[in-house]
Amino acid sequence: MNMRSVVAGALVVLLTACGTPRSVPQFEPGDRVLVDAHNAYPENGRHEDRLTRALATGIPLAIEQDLVWCPTASGAFEVLVAHDTACRGDEPTLRQYFFDAVKPIVDAASARGVTDQWPVITLNLDFKMDPPELHHAVWNLLGEYETWLTTAARTATPDTLAPLTVGPLLVLTGQADAQQVSFHDAVAVGRRLRLFGAVHDAPVTRDTTPSAPPAPMRATNYRRWWNHPWKVVEPEGQPEAGDWTAGDAARLSQVVTAAHAAGLWIRFYTLNGATATEATTQGWSPTYNFGSLAAAATRWQAARDAGVDFIATDQYESLAGALHTATVRR
């Protein structure tokens, strides 16, 4: 399936799903559960179909793109999409690989004027390095697409949250303090924030139960989501996880409830269930693998029922099928 066919299919999904025009987006924490397409970019010259596969699952959805700052063949430094910081030289640019690919979908969402599905795409930027030059280039690139973006006014103090102006694209980034300096602190009061960082965990106190899951800091104007490995729920990790238990479900619910109470979207990564051969062939990390599709599907259902906003997986199609055939519990 080529990219043109995928985009055409996504447009059909968009127009069909929108139905009668409405004007109230459903995007607040806990409002919807989305496929989060983990590592949806080529790696080591392979797996070039990942973004195509993600878009083919339908919208709304979230897409992760890892970023590095490396020279291209011309010698000029660019914002490149790659997991490894030792660049090969053939990595695609973020503009080429992501923005050019989603432009027809975002343009159609804007032209339709139906905002209840917005943001139709959540772009999760995972910076693999944090030089100021990369931050500056990303900020300028997002500025070229600002009419697409979900933004908020920069307030005088971070704890004062401005309302979001919702666009068809929401951009999230990590919790690094250097990113806040570039993407929030350097922005003049009254100007628009173009992307939003993740919160830190709340400090552990003497009264904190050792086995208790983490709690989040509250949302700020810039920090509006919480990102966690699945080990927060099952400390033994995916490869060693046993049967899903009522205790696991309670722990998951506790973390999700804490996130939403703090005004945050929450993301868990990465929930895969594949044979060792399939995982190796597809370039999926063994540390994220429950070992079987059934084991992963059990966790997907639990995450869906708990109201996890972004469920990250490399098995985009399987998770999308599970979410699209079930009703999320509210």
Q: Check residue 329 and give its pLDDT.
A: 45
- Average pLDDT over the chain, rounded to whole? 91
Is the pLDDT assigned to residue 15 strictly greater than 50? no
Give the burial string for 294-321 (b: 16+ CB within 10 Å, else e). ebbbbbbebbbbbbbbbbbbbbbebbbe
Residue-wise pLDDT for 66-100, tens only, equals 999 999 878 899 999 999 988 888 899 999 999 99
Confidence of residue 25 (pLDDT cuts 50, 70, 90): low
Percentage of residues in the chain having pLDDT higher than 70: 90
Q: What is the pLDDT of residue 307?
A: 97
Q: How confident is the model at residue 326 (pLDDT cuts 50, 70, 90)?
A: low
What pLDDT score was predicted for residue 328? 44
Q: Report, as an integer, the average pLDDT of 130-144.
A: 98
Share of the chain above pLDDT 90, in %: 80
- Per-residue pLDDT tens digits for 269-316: 999 999 999 999 999 999 999 999 999 999 999 999 999 999 999 999
pLDDT in tens, 154-176: 999 999 999 999 999 999 999 99
pLDDT digit string (tens) for 185-241? 999 999 999 999 999 999 987 776 777 899 999 999 999 999 999 999 999 999 999
| Least trusted range by pLDDT, from 4-18, 47-61, 301-315 | 4-18
Comparing 14-28, 157-171, 254-268, 290-304, which segment has the lowest mean pLDDT? 14-28
pLDDT for 70: 94
Give this prediction's pTM: 0.91
Going from N- to C-terminal start, the domains of the chain cover 1-9+32-198, 224-330
**Tokens encoding 107:** 């343009």
In this prediction, residue 16 has a pLDDT band, given cuts at 50, 70 and 90, of: very low
Those residues with Cβ within 8 angstroms of residue 171's Cβ, 6 or more apart along the chain or in another chain? 122, 123, 125, 142, 149, 150, 194, 195, 196
Catalogue the long-range contacts made by 16-19 (C-beta closer than 8 Å, 24 or more residues apart). 17/58, 17/59, 17/117, 18/112, 18/114, 18/116, 18/117, 19/114
